[in-house]
Structure 1
């Protein structure tokens, strides 16, 4: 079968890596949590307040996903009292330039009503 369609053009495809990146980072809250952690480590309650509108169970699930993807690490301070915080890993910090550029682009090109 030919790579050329009936119109004489090659079919359009999306790079698989880009598809995976947007699929993961575009999942509700994941990109926002990573961006929030760009400012440094934060505890669970601090993240919940910073993000706003996220339930405890969803936040817990998203943090587990981000940890499993090696973008965030969970830090436990044995205390007393015991405290848990989250911070970006090296892979998570590698996203900072892209997220900063995306944020600047959004400020310049997307009216606030688009996201609502």
Structure 2
């Protein structure tokens, strides 16, 4: 559970389960997250081997985030937790706070 210790980790992993995304794509899709919180969350997930950060040498430089094999496995676990919460009457916010 330490991997999803951050408030935003669940949302980042859930978004990346849909495919690789750039920073601003993640920020728009998650919504209320600040730039600092998203940056910190992405760094923590990268350090734990959950996501991969790919620098794309364009002008300006672009960065794309994707799930590693471990991250995809973790995403499956999070999906099961969400499904469990829905089955037993928990809202998404209650299920993500587990």
Interval of TM-score (by shorter of Structure 1 and Structure 2) = 0.7 to 0.9
Matched residues in 2 for 1:86 and 1:106: separation? 27
Matched residues in 2 for 1:29 and 1:113: separation? 11
**Residues 113 and 94 (structure 1), Cα distance of their counterparts in 2 relative to 1, 3 Å cut:** closer
Matched residue SS, 2:66? strand
Q: How many residues align?
A: 94
Tell me the equivalent position of 2:90.
110
Residues 9 and 45 in structure 2, CA contact (< 8 A), matched pair in contact too:
yes
Larger RCO: 1 or 2 (CA < 8 Å, sep 6+):
2
Residue ranges of structure 2 left out of the alignment (5+ in a row)? none
TM normalised by structure 2 equals 0.83
Higher-Rg structure is 1
Of stretches 40-49 and 79-88 in structure 1, the one that deviates more from structure 2 is 79-88
TM normalised by structure 1 equals 0.72
Matched residues in 1 for 2:64 and 2:4: separation? 21
Deviating beyond 6 angstroms after TM superposition, the runs of 4 or more aligned structure 1 residues are none
Cα shift at 1:99 = 1.4
Tell me the equivalent position of 2:77.
98
1:39 aligns with 2:21: no
